[in-house]
Structure 1
Amino acid sequence: MAVLQAIHLTLASAILLVMLAERGQASDNTKNCKLIEESQSERKVLSRLEPLTNRTFSVEVESDTDKYKYQFQVCGKAGKISEGGLVQINGKGNEVLIGKYTVVEAFGGSDWVMLVYRNGTAYGKHCGGEDRKAIIMISCERGLAAGPLSVVVEERDKLNNCFYLFEIDSSAVCPPIPSQLSVGSILLIVGSSCLAVYLIGGFLYQRLVVGAKGVEQFPNYSFWQEIGNLSADGCDFVCRSRGSREEPPTYRGVASEPLGEEPEERDDHLLPM
């Protein structure tokens, strides 16, 4: 059974390589985000965004006076400015810091995550000269790894608490789909998989190593043939009658041959002489 052992080793190696590859791909890039107040709950929210790290999202918008481009990274540097998680680039290539990924707040629900990047460049004539702030809303969209960055609104007509609001759709923040498979279905899948491995491995072994042809290529053919014969014998023993049965007397038929004549009894000897 050298081929079967080789198949088992190959499957085990493949599973091990997949596990190592996934472990190698796993990262902690969201730890680059520095929370304003470190908390386990906010750190857990950030960890949901791990698939979106190391990627720059950008969007271009036009105003009456200029054309702007916004660039954003999850817990990473989006432009040339140090610690710039979200920056604005005007038509001349000048960058304005909207928010830092080192001054972050994170909130989340079952199917959304909201990031707040603070300590951006101060406003000049708006919002009382306070620092700019970016709010990035990441919503669940199944089947979409990461959608485009879009600008929802720039709120700068207030005296304070102004902000830029952006939106991204991604499956990274979607809740896991609960498994609808029953225990019986799981066992059936596992059993079918094991049967497939047994048949394929046994077929290859019989054909390549033993050199079998035709039905002899079926793994353990003689064993299964014997099982079939024993099953047929058992069915024959249970379902079929054995030997002749003597019918009850009440159901015996009348003999078709005529009965011999009874000898006539004479009573002459009873007469007085």
Structure 2
Amino acid sequence: SKFSSSYPHRAFRSVLLWAILTQLLLCRNGVFAGDGTKACKLRHESASQRKVLEQLEPLAHRNLSVVVTEEKGNYTYVFQLCGDAGGVPNAGVIQKKTGSQDKPTIIGLYTSTEAIGGSDWVMLRYYDGEKYDEHCSHEDRRAIIMISCNKNKEAGDLEAILEDSERPKDCFYLFELDSSAVCPPVQSQLSAGSIILIIGFCLVAVYLIGGFLYQRLIVGAKGMEQFPNYAFWVEVGNLSADGCDFVCRSKNREEAPAYRGVSADALDEEPEERDDHLLPM
């Protein structure tokens, strides 16, 4: 029937439509927004800062939040690395008051970023947040996120340390986060030569143990015959001894003359006796 023939096409279109809607929702939530840390725009583009951001790649596309209790109520802070925090476009850090329907306050934008890295830490700064109402000479808000090394956590809990808004300018929000992404790479303590020696010793051990078991259990050898390739190694030993004797112990087999200045040929020849002086003149 026409219904049965058109049903698969309708089902396919429905699945395709749901897939498109799901991708759009994910993009809006920041899952596919940007390409890792490339979505961050540095205030002053430099290779060193870009390298620091690339080091934080494992933290990308994660909404990390913390709830802070203050006199005016509870506030939730949401941080995302190079992505829309809480779904707010371009916001790296936002502040939301619990139970309030007001729109979130943008603390800092990931489109205005600075990244400073050390041996086992990274300081991330988001600038150009919403302006203060009464504090800090109505300047823009900014967020500072200190990310410290913790080899046991890829992304730890976000902690709100303080909001320094009592100074006339340069106010900031300070957050802390532990992550293994900023830990220095573990360098091997073994050199290439040590690794080669270890591999060589392992191969020799396997050869000796395996050969011994084979000779004893399979061949039924006894005594020194259990040593793998015994005849070959004995021959090698004899050849090595002969070579050592030739190189290190070789000498002239002729005995040295007893007196210096007299050749051996002169000693071998008997002197001719001359008796001419005995004949009468």
Which range, TM-score by smaller chain?
0.5 to 0.7
In the other structure, the counterpart of 1:152 is 161
CA distance in 2, matches of 1:192, 1:28: 47
Q: 1:98 to 1:226 in 2, by over 3 A?
A: closer
CA distance in 2, matches of 1:166, 1:226: 66
Structure 2 residue 233 is the aligned partner of structure 1 residue 231: yes
CA distance in 2, matches of 1:193, 1:122: 67
**Structure 2: segments with no counterpart, 5+ residues:** 1-33, 208-216, 220-225, 242-281
In the other structure, the counterpart of 1:99 is 108
1:28–1:50 Cα contact (<8 Å) kept: no
Which of the residues 73, 76, 80 maps onto 1:73? 80
State the Cα distance separating 1:185 from its structure 2 match. Answer: 2.8
Structure 2 residue 47 is the aligned partner of structure 1 residue 40: yes
1:33-70: CA deviations, max 9, x gaps?
A: 00011111111111111111121111111111211111
Q: 1:129 to 1:197 in 2, by over 3 A?
A: farther
CA distance in 2, matches of 1:102, 1:88: 17
Residue identity opposite 2:89 in structure 1:
S
In the other structure, the counterpart of 2:8 is none
The within-5 A match list for 1:133-212 is 133-191=142-200
Residue identity opposite 2:153 in structure 1:
L
Residue identity opposite 2:194 in structure 1:
S
2:52–2:116 Cα contact (<8 Å) kept: yes
Q: 1:191 to 1:65 in 2, by over 3 A?
A: same
CA distance in 2, matches of 1:114, 1:53: 15
CA distance in 2, matches of 1:162, 1:178: 40
| TM-score (norm: length of structure 2) | 0.60
State the Cα distance separating 1:106 from its structure 2 match. Answer: 1.1
State the Cα distance separating 1:28 from its structure 2 match. Answer: 5.1
Percent sequence identity over aligned pairs: 48
Structure 2 residue 126 is the aligned partner of structure 1 residue 117: yes
**Structure 1: segments with no counterpart, 5+ residues:** 1-26, 199-213, 217-223, 239-273
Residue identity opposite 2:191 in structure 1:
S
2:69–2:75 Cα contact (<8 Å) kept: yes
CA distance in 1, matches of 2:128, 2:204: 61
CA distance in 1, matches of 2:206, 2:74: 61
State the secondary structure of the residue aligned to 2:146: strand
Q: 1:176 to 1:120 in 2, by over 3 A?
A: same
State the Cα distance separating 1:192 from its structure 2 match. Answer: 7.1
Q: 1:225 to 1:129 in 2, by over 3 A?
A: same
Aligned residues: 192
1:59–1:149 Cα contact (<8 Å) kept: yes
Q: 1:77 to 1:197 in 2, by over 3 A?
A: farther
CA distance in 2, matches of 1:191, 1:234: 20
Q: 1:215 to 1:87 in 2, by over 3 A?
A: farther
CA distance in 1, matches of 2:157, 2:135: 28
In the other structure, the counterpart of 2:59 is 52
State the Cα distance separating 1:235 from its structure 2 match. Answer: 6.5
State the Cα distance separating 1:197 from its structure 2 match. Answer: 11
State the Cα distance separating 1:112 from its structure 2 match. Answer: 1.2
CA distance in 2, matches of 1:50, 1:194: 41
Residue identity opposite 1:55 in structure 2:
R
Please provide the CA RMSD for this pair.
Answer: 3.1
State the secondary structure of the residue aligned to 1:79: helix
Structure 2 residue 68 is the aligned partner of structure 1 residue 61: yes
1:202-253: CA deviations, max 9, x gaps?
A: xxxxxxxxxxxx849xxxxxxx987234335666998xxxxxxxxxxxxxxx
